[in-house]
Structure 1
Amino acid sequence: MRNLLLSALLVALGATSALAEPYRLHAQDQLLVRVVDWDPDANGLAEWAGVSGEYLVASDGTLQFPLAGTVTAEGQTLTSLQEQLAAALGRNAGLDRPPHVTVELVESLPVYVLGAAQTQGAVAYRPGLTARQALALAGGVYRNLATADPMQMARIAGEARLAAEELRQHEAERAAIEAELAELEGPDTPPGGQLPADADLRSRLQVADRVARNAQAASLDSLQQLLRDKADKLRQQIVLRDQQLADNRRDLEGIAELKEKGLAVNARVTALTTAINDIEAKRLDLEATLLMAEQQLNEAERARAAIIDDARSDNLQKLAELEDDMAAAAIRLGTADRLLTQAMLAGELAPEPDAAEQPGFVVTRATDGTPERIEAAPDMALEPGDVLEITLPGASAASPRPVAAAPQPAPLGQVAAADPGLAAR
């Protein structure tokens, strides 16, 4: 008992000393430096705008700072760097007393967690970060999904069920859009579609859009036919006016000859001339009306064609978006299927770890450019850029951890084995 208390005290003292130790800068640290001085004219502090800002410690451990030149930052504490920068700025700027300089650590290189961690990858570093804390940020020790977290299994199975249902709906919508595109490509668009009794809201909207579009197209077809009939009648009236003009001109020529011989009076010539002028004026009106009718007919034909073109364009755009949604749903379904399969496979191969077993920590740290492996205690303070490997006692190649692969669409059979709700679909 005494030994246990002594060990706990030593661990606590080690953690306290690690936290009490001031942070020393490393290469690739991002720093925020503020330089201020007292301005007697403004009766307040004035920041050096051209100097204050964020700076990066170079890979060789140096810091390039205006008016201070090259400063060795690696290995220094924030306080010592502040004092060095303040002295250099005051000296190089010719000031009686150095300005006030503050240095804050913005960001450091992360710690990379590997091995038997729940989530492998980079963990954000902060001063005083220990190996145990980095493991906690990585989700703790890896737990077999199939046995340790049934709620997670149920969640993944639910995601697979939702993805399968979404994929089914997308396939039905794609079939409806492709059928509508086939109708639009045909010579004539049918007047409307029959609505099945079990149609969903999206199908009802599609049918409603189709009915509205066909009604608009039918209205334009009726307008075109009306304009064609009007144009035909105008052409017939123009032909009639041409015949009247020809008859009156022949009569006028005959009267003119009789007048030259003294056998006709001027009143007859004047009457025929007036009649010809009236007929020509009416003919011009008919031609203007015919031209207007033809223009309206062309506009109706263009509007009729635009309805089909717009519908085709909208459906093609919907189809393109639908293909993306289907691909995403297929990927989610395949990922969930693969996760469930790997979790069940891992549950068959790997025994559940003993809760009393403590993980091991191995730190790989670059010292003078050479990687060095260190058997670390749980409360060992880490440094930026360290690689922390988590090991478990008794782990072997026979109990592999599932590795996420590139998601591919997969059949529902494997997912349904983990979630009976899918089998019913």
Structure 2
Amino acid sequence: MSELSKRSGGDIQVAGAAPVARHGRLKRSAAWKAVLAFVGGALAVVLVAGSSVAAITVWQLQNNIDVVAIDADQHGPPPPIGEYEGGFNILLIGSDTRDGQDGIGGKETAVLNDVNMLLHVAADQKSAVLVSIPRDTVVPLPRCEHGGPATGEPINTALYYGGLPCAVLTVQNLTGLDIQFAGLITFKGVIAMSDAIGGVDVCIDGPVVDPYSGIDLPSAGTWTLQGFDALAFLRSRHGVGDGSDLGRIGSQQVFLSSLVRKLKSDGTLTDLGKLYSIALAATQNIQLSANFARPDTLVSIALVLKNIPLENIVMVQYPGKTGGDGIFTGKVEPVKSVANALFAAIKADQPIGLDANALEGAHGGSALDPNAPAPTGSPTPDPTASAEPATETTVIPGLKGQNAATYTCSVHN
């Protein structure tokens, strides 16, 4: 049973009178159209936890992982543990499949990639940027196993046309970046991961109520969400921002930044029991590309990510807008000028900076938390991490997002 609680002052209180998302409320087929951005956090847990779990059970856990080959796997295995040098790109996908998802509900048979996140780690391994690509973004599709090429289709059909390899090709074509690693997680994986980590604190600036997703947070404040409650919050569109998928991404970034802070600040990495539970939940509900599934690769990448300071981890939306016509009717139209600038900076390994408007106007997805702790109350830095910040950042006007060190609130609809 998932637990919904509210933080009041310094304590966590169970909100007994507050409605909680239950199995029955999540069985409506229409309610499951969006998989969650929690996939990014789920896989981040696997990566960060890997370095600590390796000495115990990582080799046994590998047997749980469903493996699929992508083009990058043809270039041979990555370097051994601790020797990974340079930058890399990881595509993180969330699937709406019902295959093997007993108890989730819904009757849809389509397999769509409703969450698409591209994580880029710079060559100097001092900064990272996570780009969320809205599921309804209209893009060219490559020729894949079950169809294509095609134009004017939303990106979330790539998984249907050719599984994880097709999603990788689609994002490579869209961004111009080579993708070395890829992973996919399902609904049950999202639920299991949020339970294993013990919930994530999310701030909201007012009531977040969405009968379509089943989330019902009746008042402003900081709520601890896990299980079905985390699922309902992360997939909520009607309860946050302007009710669009773009607004939902802003809200999801509130969740992800809080998740990253929790992983780095509350002793998770030293709690072997929790680490094992997290790794077990992840590996039982995940598909990874062949090289990504290697335990030594997971540990090497974990060591890299663990040493990147929070303020150098930036989460942004792929630039897009709604309200277009033609093939963009009811969909998301890329803003190519901003997108081109973003990926040119990423290719050049320039750390991404955000201006004062990065949160404002982001379809109401997120806003600064007025009750955020003072700098002295910020998460304790990892003693093994480099204290050296990224030197110069590239600020791209029109880019929306936040960094992992910034405390933000989800904006209610």
Query: What's the TM-score, normalizing by structure 2?
Result: 0.16
Structure with greater strand percent:
2
Structure scoring higher RCO (CA < 8 A, sep ≥ 6) equals: 2
Larger Cα-atom Rg:
1
